[in-house]
Structure 1
Amino acid sequence: MKITLVIVVYKTVLNKSVTYCSLLNAIKGKNEFFKDLSIIIYDNSPEIQSFDKSQFEKIKVEYQHDPRNLGIASAYNFAWSWAKENGSSWLLLLDHDTNLTEQYINKVFNLPKLTEDIAAVVPKVHSGNSMISPVYSHSLRPLHIELPKPGLQEQPVMAINSGALLNVKFLNEIGGFNQEFPLDYLDHWLFYEIYARGHKVWLLDVTLEHDLSVMDYSRVSLMRYKSILNSEVNFYKNYKKDLFPSYKRQLLKRFLKQALTVKNKKIAMYTLRMLFST
């Protein structure tokens, strides 16, 4: 089973990337995997950085620098094209701050025989003491309800991008990654498409730690908030339409909370603007 692995980095020195360093440790001495593995480092940083390919002896590795910083969708589409050219059956998505383990790598390269309808294989992902991925996707706030168990996920779930192993045949079916979601909510769209098209997800019995970026209104810029909210509205309005009425009610509650507690009132006003424009 041939796998193309892509790590997307931004303003992060490779040797200080949790993902990059943990990957080196996890594959050390596993020569049996090397013939089936190719790696892409996709760097969205403004400046190119030096990259020592010798650290990945016997593995095909590509470093791609793109200072335009078009987001992860463009990076993933590059990796998808590369995977097709190299005859890979699976594409493994990673960002720069997921802590990979030897157990996870072993599980990925020793998958059970999967049925044709499996479009994605994902690990359990924890942030602190909470399991954040995957979660059932039939509600807006699914983290406090029953969590998925390892194995085939018959009911729709949503998982974060990093750590997800995607079937290249499925990506071919959907035409790659949707540029409507260059950064935010790309994972929501992807797993929505999996179940909308009659496919399924397989959950590995293995756990990864991930540094989840939780929005802090005291640190997030108005421009960044606009990007997140625009993608969020697009997803619920045009894709997950069954949840759109509930989403609008939640957006109203968010505005009221922001108006009371967020110092930058432009953030609250943008929420109100989007609420009345949908």
Structure 2
Amino acid sequence: MLISIVIYNKKISDLTILKKIPYKNTDIFIYDNSKFPQEIPTFENVNIYYEHDENNSGVSLAYNQAYKKAKELNKILLLVLDQDSSFEFSFIEQYMKMYKEYKNDYIYAPIVCDENKTKIYSPAFLNNFVGKVQSFENFVYEQTYSLEGKSVINSGLMIPLKMFEKIGGYNEKLRLDFSDIYFIEKYKELNPKIVLVDVYLKHSISGDEGKDFAREFNRFRYYCSASKEIGNSLNTVVFWSPFRRLVRLTIKYKNIKFIKIFFEYYLKGKEL
């Protein structure tokens, strides 16, 4: 297995996952979207493969590069992680137990929750390309879990390389938003279910972090562009998701400039 971690403005030495690795010769591919490269520290039991991308090309390209590295190393499995996920190496034993049973016909995903185990972020409901968390209390675990009306996030996915190839990889035009949804929607064309690994991955989901007009204005361009791209690539219309965000941001900042962004980058399909 190759473990892939995508980082942005984060020191490799600060990645908690690298601190205590029990297995010798663990291979980890780090794709760094930060502006400047960094020196690679040494860790016990770890072989680090590092790739720097000063252009911040996003997670989809990073995962495709991780796949190429996994092929180069003759791996059969790729585990993708977010820099903020609290992945425990003890989880791998459970992943491999499931893989021995279900092999290459499935993608394997953890249960992703908040720190207090009140919300399930993944698998989450998906309606008109808008995600909605599940209640931890009402969540029903099933080993082969139906993705009808649902999706899962990238972090924690273990993907057999044979399945990665069948899907065709990630859409590199989707730098961040909808990257996981595209990949899973293509997977659903091959298999309507995933194997849900009975481990809990604690994860922080970025949400409303107060007011920052410049940041949210710029981010909305990417969101509208991604909404247009995923609609085109899946031969569908993704309207409600960007329109919903347009309304929220316009009200939040009492500024109609977001309408221009929506018109140019979503309705007219202007490229970034």
**How many Å apart are 1:10 and its aligned residue?**
1.1
**How many Å apart are 1:113 and its aligned residue?**
2.6
CA distance in 2, matches of 1:83, 1:271: 38
Deviations 1:88-130 (A, max 9, x none): 1111111211111244233234435333563311111113431
**How many Å apart are 1:211 and its aligned residue?**
1.5
Look up the SS of the partner of 1:143 in the other structure: strand
Alignment check: 8 A CA contact 2:107 2:160 kept: yes
RMSD of Structure 2 on Structure 1 (CA) = 2.8
Residue 240 to residue 147, structure 1, CA distance change in 2 (3 Å)? farther
Amino acid at match of 1:56: E
Partner of 2:35: 46
Are positions 1:229 and 2:224 aligned together? yes
Matches within 5 A, 1:5-16: 5-16=3-14
Give the TM-score normalised by the residue count of structure 2.
0.82
Matches within 5 A, 1:198-277: 198=191, 200-216=193-209, 218-219=211-212, 220-239=215-234, 241=236, 244=237, 248-249=239-240, 251-271=242-262, 276-277=267-268
Are positions 1:130 and 2:119 aligned together? yes
Are positions 1:56 and 2:44 aligned together? yes
Amino acid at match of 2:234: Y
Structure with the higher helix share, 1 or 2: 1
Look up the SS of the partner of 2:107 in the other structure: strand
Matches within 5 A, 1:24-173: 24-25=19-20, 27=21, 30-31=22-23, 34=24, 37-53=26-42, 55-57=43-45, 59-116=46-103, 118-128=105-115, 129-137=118-126, 139=128, 140-143=130-133, 147=139, 149-156=141-148, 157-173=150-166
Look up the SS of the partner of 1:52 in the other structure: coil
Matches within 5 A, 1:18-29: 20-25=15-20, 27=21
Amino acid at match of 1:234: E
Look up the SS of the partner of 1:98 in the other structure: coil
**How many Å apart are 1:225 and its aligned residue?**
1.5
Residue 24 to residue 264, structure 1, CA distance change in 2 (3 Å)? farther
CA distance in 2, matches of 1:272, 1:148: 41
Residue 71 to residue 251, structure 1, CA distance change in 2 (3 Å)? closer
CA distance in 1, matches of 2:251, 2:53: 40
Deviations 1:54-91 (A, max 9, x none): x133x432122222221112221111011112121111
Amino acid at match of 1:42: Y
CA distance in 2, matches of 1:217, 1:234: 28
**How many Å apart are 1:185 and its aligned residue?**
1.0
**How many Å apart are 1:205 and its aligned residue?**
1.1
Aligned residues: 261
Look up the SS of the partner of 1:115 in the other structure: helix
Amino acid at match of 2:91: Y
Deviations 1:119-157 (A, max 9, x none): 311111113431111124355344258756241123333
Q: Select between 125-134 and 182-191 the one with higher mean Cα deviation.
A: 125-134
Look up the SS of the partner of 1:131 in the other structure: strand
Amino acid at match of 1:97: D
Look up the SS of the partner of 1:111 in the other structure: helix
Q: Which residues of structure 2 form unaligned runs of 5+?
A: none
